[in-house]
């Protein structure tokens, strides 16, 4: 379980297909403090640490199943790709974003970038099957970042990025046409499911 508050920007330093995809991710977190078997959200995808080390930089390895690759933007990962990272929520931690599972529902596309003062308004297009779960002033997790939806128009929805968010995450390198990992709000999913039973 996560909150969507990114605490590090990692970098892929090795990538290898070994049946499943295996990635080595450099981090500013001390590797000695990362447990084997720990869950880390990498661009919003909950992945399990299977190995770790400290040379030449602190790093951890994860394995990514074909299912995860098919539902996310991970197929575009390469050496040098920078990733939003968040460690799993601990009891007593501040819940600054919203409850995020790290189970990505699909991929949204960046369709428009509009500067607004110092901020950047970004319009995304969600897959049709997920659009009904996105509501104005509701929450979404995009590339592992907890964000508030400003407006919704059919499959398109807008989010505002303040300068701080763009500085401490990978959102500072955004471009039209980029594909991002989308996790809809868990509460919205369950409310929709309950409505089907009426």
pTM over 0.85: yes
User: Do 139 and 171 sit in the same domain of this protein?
Assistant: yes
Q: Which domain holds residue 61?
A: 8-87
What does the pLDDT average to over 16-45?
A: 96
User: Do 80 and 110 sit in the same domain of this protein?
Assistant: no
Residue 187: pLDDT band (50, 70, 90) is confident
User: Do 112 and 83 sit in the same domain of this protein?
Assistant: no
Q: What is the spatial distance between Cα 123 and Cα 113, in angstroms, rounded to a whole number?
A: 7
Domain end point (choices 87, 121, 143)? 87
User: Do 114 and 38 sit in the same domain of this protein?
Assistant: no
pLDDT surpassing 90 at residue 37: yes
Q: What is the spatial distance between Cα 89 and Cα 87, in angstroms, rounded to a whole number?
A: 7
Query: Looking at the 3D structure of the chain, how many domains does it have?
Result: 2
DSSP label at residue 131: H
Contacts of 92 (CB under 8 A, 6+ apart): none
């Amino acid at each position: 379980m996560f909150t969507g508050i990114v605490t590090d920007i990692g970098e892929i330093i090795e990538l290898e297909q070994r049946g499943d995809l295996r990635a080595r991710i450099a981090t500013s977190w001390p590797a000695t403090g990362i447990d084997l078997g720990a869950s880390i959200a990498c661009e919003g995808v909950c992945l399990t640490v299977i190995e770790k080390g400290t040379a030449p930089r602190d790093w951890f390895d994860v394995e990514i199943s074909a299912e995860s690759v098919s539902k996310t933007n991970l197929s575009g990962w390469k050496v040098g790709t920078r990733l939003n990272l968040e460690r799993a929520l601990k009891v007593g931690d501040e819940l600054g974003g919203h409850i995020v599972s790290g189970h990505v529902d699909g991929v949204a596309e960046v369709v428009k970038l509009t500067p607004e003062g110092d901020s950047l308004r970004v319009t995304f297009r969600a897959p049709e099957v997920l659009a009904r779960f996105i509501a104005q002033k509701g929450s979404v997790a995009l590339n592992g970042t907890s964000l508030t939806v400003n407006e919704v128009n059919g499959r398109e929805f807008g989010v505002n990025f303040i300068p701080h968010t763009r500085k401490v995450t990978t959102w500072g390198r955004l471009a039209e046409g980029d594909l991002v990992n989308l996790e809809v709000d868990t509460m919205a999913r369950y409310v929709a499911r309950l409505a089907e039973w009426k």
